[in-house]
Amino acid sequence: MAHDTQKRRAPFIVIEGLDRSGKTTQTARLHEQLKANGVEASLIKFPDRSTPIGKMIDAYLRSVSELDDRAVHLLFSANRWELASKIESTLLAGTTIICDRYAFSGIAFSAAKVSPAEPSSPLLPFEWCRAPDIGLPAPDLVLFLDITPEQARARGGYGEERYEKEEMQARVRALFGQIGSEMQRGSEGAENMPRWVVVDAGREMEVVERNVWDLVYPLVEEGIAEPVGKLWTR
Ligand code: DGP
The full DSSP string for 163-216 is T-SHHHHHHHHHHHHHHHHHHHTT-TTGGGSPEEEEEETTS-HHHHHHHHHHHH
- pLDDT, one tens digit per residue, over 197-218 is 999 999 999 999 999 999 999 9
Is 110 strand, coil or helix?
Answer: helix
Greatest extent of the chain over all pairs of C-alpha atoms, in Å: 59
Per-residue pLDDT for 27 more than 70? Answer: yes
Task: Report the nearest atom of ligand 1 relative to the CA of 100.
Answer: 3
Which residues partner with 125 through β-bridges? Answer: none
Cβ–Cβ < 8 Å for 65, 162: no
Cβ–Cβ < 8 Å for 184, 178: no
Q: Which residues line ligand 1 (CB under 6 A)?
A: 19, 46-47, 61, 73, 76, 101, 105-106, 109-110, 161, 163
- pLDDT, one tens digit per residue, over 103-151 is 999 999 999 999 989 988 999 999 999 999 999 999 999 999 999 988 9
End-to-end Cα separation, the chain, in angstroms: 31
The DSSP 8-state label assigned to residue 156 in this structure reads T
Lowest mean pLDDT among 2-16, 27-41, 61-75, 198-212: 2-16
Q: What's the predicted TM-score (pTM) here? A: 0.94
Average pLDDT over the chain reads: 93
Taking the mean position of all CA atoms in its chain, how far away is CA 14?
A: 5
All structural domains of the chain, each given as residue ranges with its CATH number in brackets, are: 5-222 (3.40.50.300)
The DSSP 8-state label assigned to residue 133 in this structure reads G
Per-residue pLDDT for 13 more than 80? Answer: yes
Q: In this structure, which residue's CA is closest to atom 14 in ligand 1?
A: 105
How crowded is the C-beta side of 13, counted as CA atoms within 13 Å? 29
- pLDDT, one tens digit per residue, over 96-115 is 999 999 999 999 999 999 99
Q: Which of 129, 163, 171, 173 to mutate to test the pocket of ligand 1 (most atoms within 8 A of CB)?
A: 163
CA distance 29 to 115: 38
Residue 192: the pLDDT is: 67
